[in-house]
């Protein structure tokens, strides 16, 4: 197995294509071939020991990395700024780079305290603070109200509100749309189901509108069941 993996990595070349224009071939001297099937798996092996480089809780999912630390402010700010350089040292030692423009920090708290001075730095660069962040399909708001997640979920479901759709597709296609409504509505519902009733009701209204527009008995049954689960 080791020889098989070893033979997969060396002597690889790649090029970039834009339209009909192709660049010259360049040798890959580090990393794995982009677009390969085994590439993501090898990357997971590569970064699997990142959690050992710092004391923060590290959540890894492919190339998405979330660092979590809990404490009282200003202790929280000090502890994060103390541990983050360790992460940066690990990144540098392993010949990786951090895209500072895509890196965000979020302060999750329900306390009414001033947090304007809260600042996290990476290599002397201040990390942008955000109030809303999308992680694995879940819209997280710093107050954990789930209002924004419910709003965007309503927008996603509303894409199915095509009033004339039933005149152009058969019942089988409509039944497939019925099932597809369940996927975004139920995704990670165990996380955000404690949202305020007014936000959950807005999802129910959109689901009922979709039911009315598609106008099939099967969809009515599915959507009514969906509404009951949400409320």
Sequence-distant contacts of 89-98: CB under 8 A, at least 24 apart: 89/53, 90/50, 90/53, 90/54, 94/46, 94/47, 95/30, 98/122, 98/123
With a threshold of 0.75, does the pTM exceed it?
A: no
- Report which DSSP code applies to 20: T
Predicted confidence (pLDDT) per residue in 37-82, tens digit: 888 888 888 888 899 999 999 988 877 889 999 888 778 888 999 9
Please say if the pLDDT value at position 30 is more than 70.
Answer: yes
- Calculate ∠ Cα 24-44-3, nearest 5°: 70
Predicted confidence (pLDDT) per residue in 160-219, tens digit: 655 456 566 666 776 676 666 666 666 777 778 778 888 888 877 877 776 666 655 444
- Residue 67 pairs in a beta bridge with 58
Instruction: Give the mean pLDDT of 134-156.
Output: 84
Look at residue 56 in the predicted model and tell me its pLDDT: 92
Look at residue 186 in the predicted model and tell me its pLDDT: 67
- Calculate ∠ Cα 9-14-15, nearest 5°: 170
Query: If you search the block for the tokens 């590569």, which residue do you land on?
Result: 46
- Report which DSSP code applies to 93: H
């Amino acid at each position: 197995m080791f020889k098989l993996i070893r033979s997969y990595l060396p002597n690889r070349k790649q090029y970039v294509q834009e339209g009909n224009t192709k660049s010259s071939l360049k040798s890959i001297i580090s990393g794995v071939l982009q677009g390969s099937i085994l590439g993501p798996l090898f990357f997971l092996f590569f970064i699997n020991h990142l959690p050992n480089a710092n004391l923060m809780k590290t959540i890894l999912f492919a190339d998405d990395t979330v660092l979590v630390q809990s404490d009282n402010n200003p202790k929280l700010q000090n502890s994060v700024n103390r541990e983050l350089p360790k992460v940066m040292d690990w990144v540098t030692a392993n010949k990786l780079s951090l895209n500072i423009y895509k890196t965000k920090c979020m302060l999750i708290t329900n306390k009414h305290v001033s947090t304007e001075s809260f600042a996290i730095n990476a290599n002397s660069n201040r990390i942008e603070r955000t109030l809303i962040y999308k992680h694995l399909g879940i819209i997280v708001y710093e107050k954990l109200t789930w209002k924004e997640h419910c709003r965007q979920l309503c927008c996603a479901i509303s894409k199915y509100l095509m009033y004339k759709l039933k005149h152009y597709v058969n019942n089988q296609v409509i039944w497939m749309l019925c099932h597809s409504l369940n996927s975004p509505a139920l995704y990670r519902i165990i996380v955000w189901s404690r949202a305020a009733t007014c936000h959950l009701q807005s999802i129910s209204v959109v689901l009922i509108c979709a039911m009315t527009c598609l106008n099939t008995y099967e969809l009515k049954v599915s959507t009514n069941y969906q509404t009951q689960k949400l409320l």
